[in-house]
Amino acid sequence: MDTLKITKADLNERNEYTASRDLEFEGHIEIEANLGLVRILGLITAKGRLGISAGSGIEAGEGISAGLGIKAGLGIKAGLGIKAGEGISAGLGISAGLGIKAGLGIKAGEGISAGLGIKAGLGIKAGEG
């Protein structure tokens, strides 16, 4: 699978992705390290995995979906929901407005928050809650 790499050059002064409202890719999406919280105004969809390096996090206005899993150094935040085929891991926490679904499990350093529910195939682990 091809990999789309998001760098500082792809973001505006508010750390928003500038190429389009939605970020959709048929392969893997990787966000480079130390970008802080990267904002996507709409939906993020990766057919492969979504990888966010240390010092970076992701926020999507509508939702996040990755076929093979999501891993983030700082955290993951989605307005409507988060869905990952194999699992979700976030250093500081995970927050989703309508719910979180992960095939193999969910792991968050400081906590997990979901408006309507959380579903994980093999388990949920949260550092403080």
Separation between Cα atoms, residue 35 and residue 56, nearest integer Å: 5
22-38 pLDDT tens trace: 999 999 999 999 999 99
Greater confidence, 23 or 119? 23
pLDDT more than 90, % of the chain: 36
Please state the rounded mean pLDDT for residues 68-89.
Answer: 83
> Per DSSP, what are the bridge partners of residue 88?
70, 106
Separation between Cα atoms, residue 72 and residue 55, nearest integer Å: 9
- Collapsed DSSP state (helix, strand, coil) of residue 29: strand
Which pLDDT value is given to residue 129? 65
Lowest-pLDDT range of 11-20, 38-47, 50-59, 70-79: 70-79
Residue type at position 57: G
